[in-house]
Chains A and B, each alone.
Chain A
């Protein structure tokens, strides 16, 4: 059974750096085709992909947020950490950790964590 769980602050101040940790079980990030990523959803709005790290050490970040994002994997600990700098109120959203699978060159998001609501406010 694959599970993912997000942890981190629920409230951050503008200009601060957000650090979120995803702790997962049921698969290994050293297994072919596997990846772990982050997707967010502002209240009442659509999903937005942020970043993903793969089994082969490849990492991708959303081009629109690339300068603010860092994704790091700790394979032996089954954890992936996302940092986002210079937080703004528009970054208020539920942040989801997701397990991805890449088959024949296409990546899909198979399993999702429950999500964590992060509010940016002074």
Chain B
């Protein structure tokens, strides 16, 4: 059971917009700690795609965006492409656990 809750899967047609939710508590996201998102393509290591709730590292396409409100955050992929298929994980800090925590991961499929 992950501290941050994500849907197991989301899907959409190529070109569509998909969103992935990440729900936490007042010990982590709700306490104001930043949320970061990682993309894990099949058979590869995770890669940072969003940091600080809504910032993109250099080289990450602008079709990836992040937002946060209250105890939840979300990642949006606008204009889904086949190359975006993989798993996505949110991450934050939990002050009650004194630990960096991850969501359970969401598998994204382009139909």
Q: Which A residues fall within an 8 A CB radius of B?
A: 46-49, 52, 60, 62-64, 96, 103, 106-115
Contacts and interface: CB of A to CB of B under 8 A. Distances in A.
Interface in B55-111: 57, 89, 91, 93, 97-105
Given A106-B33, A109-B38, A46 B105 contact: yes
- Determine the main DSSP class of A at the interface with B: strand
B45 A107 contact: no
A50 B88 CA distance: 19
B45 A47 contact: no
Interface pairs A-B: 10 shortest CB-CB? A106-B34, A49-B100, A112-B45, A47-B102, A108-B36, A108-B51, A46-B104, A46-B105, A115-B45, A47-B89
A4 to B, nearest CB: 9
